[in-house]
Amino acid sequence: MSGGVTTARERRARRAEERATAFSLMRNLALREIRAEYKRTVLGRVWSLLNPVAQIAIFSLVFGLLLRLPVPTGTNSEIHFFPLWIGIGVITWAYVSGSISGGMSSLLANQGLLTKVYFERSVLVVSSIVANTTTYLTELVVLVLITALIGGPAVLLYVPLLVPLLALTIAFVIGLSLMLSVALVYFRDLQHLWAIFTQIWMYASGVMFPVALVQQAQDQLASEGVLVDGQPLPLVTIFELNPTERILAAFRNIIYDYAVPSLDTWLYIGVWAFGLLVIGTLVFRRFSRNVVEEL
């Protein structure tokens, strides 16, 4: 090339190369996180399974045994097993919230890198989520295997549906994390605020109780005369506006019910996922340029 004049083809080639290096970097950073996480622990990777098992046990005891929550029956699978039902929710929620908080703090956590090397900044956010996703995938495999033992191998017919659902979940999480990661650099309070919000969000996502319980509350309030314009308080509708509630419900639909989530659910999750991904990317592009100065 001469005199700094670059042709469109050269520009395209350079951009393709940049994409390739960004991808390779993403892979390496994700590997770093995965490899380093359980280094020097006796049990190593087993921890990534023990953790959710312990959570499932605790939630099953508290909500299944002590509080006697109604155990949903799988529509097609006829499964009637609270620990499995709550397990899908707990593990998926842990993945979603863990990925968001990890992705969100990834810029701050890698200050040293950001101030010393140039690379596509979003790689940090994405690689952190990719690392979380691989852990989630192993957990998901275990969940499906347990489901197959309890409810029969028919679950395997529905497993392919997990691919698009997980893809939408990842898009949702990446979009939100991209936005939050730059916001956190400018407002460090966000970290603590987000921790509180996550608590509320967990309950609002129905991790440990089924929609039926919300329906019950709605009916009871209506029978007690709490009405809005002559209609019962639309608790269920509000509950289902929450995209993560829909995501958890869709995962349970596939694994616990052996059913295909409704088109309405797919569309709703899809709109949220793509919306957040687009907005997140735009926000990140706009604000990440000067992020180094704020570190």
Partner 1 sequence: MTEPAIVVDGVSKSFRVYQERNQSIKAAVLRRGRSRYTDFHALQDVSFEIPKGSTFGLLGRNGSGKSTLLKVMARILNPDAGSITMDGRVAAMLEVGSGFHPELSGRENVYLNGAILGMRKDEIDAKFDRIVEFSGVGDFIDQPVKNYSSGMYVRLGFSVSIHVEPDILLVDEVLAVGDMDFQEKCMEKFAQFRDQGRTVVVVSHGLEQMRSFCDQAAWLDHGVVQDVGPARRIVDEYADSSHAAKPVDGGGMRFGTGEIAVERIELLARDGGDPDGLQTGDGMLMRAHYRAHETIERPVLGVSIGTREGIHVWGTHGFDAGWVPERIEPGTGTIDIRIDGLPLLPGMYDVSTVIQDFRRTVIYDSLQRGASFTLQRGERDNAGGIVALDVAFGGLDPEQPIVPLSRLR
- The residues that touch partner 1, with contacts defined as CB under 8 A, are 1-4, 20-21, 24-25, 27-29, 31-32, 35-36, 39-40, 110, 112-119, 186-190, 193, 289-290, 292-294
* Dist. CA 286–CA 181, nearest whole Å: 13
Least distance (Å) from partner 1 to the CB of residue 226? 35
What values do phi and psi take at 44, rounded to 5?
60, -130
Closer to partner 1 at the Cβ: 15 or 32?
A: 32
Instruction: Say how far apart CA 180 and CA 185 lie, in whole Å.
Output: 9
Residue 75 tokens read as 């529509």
What would the two tokens of residue 41 be?
């622990």
CB 293, min distance to partner 1, A: 6
CA dihedral over 171, 173, 176, 177, signed as positive or negative: negative
Nearer to partner 1, 28 or 237 (CB): 28
Please tell me the distance from the alpha carbon of residue 98 to that of residue 221, in angstroms, as a whole number: 35
Q: From the CB of 29, what's the least distance to partner 1, in Å?
A: 7
**CA-to-CA separations, 216 to 112, 228, 288, in angstroms, rounded:** 52, 17, 46
Residues listed for the chain: 295
65: its two tokens:
């045994």
Give me the least distance between CB of 289 and partner 1, in Å please.
5
Q: How far is the CB of 34 from partner 1 (least distance, A)?
A: 11
| Distance in Å, CB of 108 to partner 1, minimum | 11
Q: Count Cβ atoms below 10 Å from residue 138 Cβ, excluding itself.
A: 12
Name the nearest CA neighbour of 139 among 74, 88, 98, 82: 88
Closest to partner 1 by CB, 52 vs 103, is 103
Least distance from partner 1 to the Cβ atom of residue 5, Å: 10
What does the DSSP 8-state code read for residue 295? -
Q: Is 90 or 114 the residue whose CB approaches partner 1 more closely?
A: 114
Query: Are 236 and 214 a contacting pair, CB within 8 Å?
Result: yes
- Which CB, 26 or 276, lies closer to partner 1? 26
C-beta of 12 vs 80, nearer to partner 1: 12
CB-nearer residue toward partner 1: 25 or 211: 25
Shortest CB 36 distance to partner 1, Å: 5
**H or E element that contains 231:** strand 231-232
Q: Nearer to partner 1 by C-beta: 74 or 102?
A: 102
Q: How many CB atoms lie within 10 A of CB 24?
A: 11
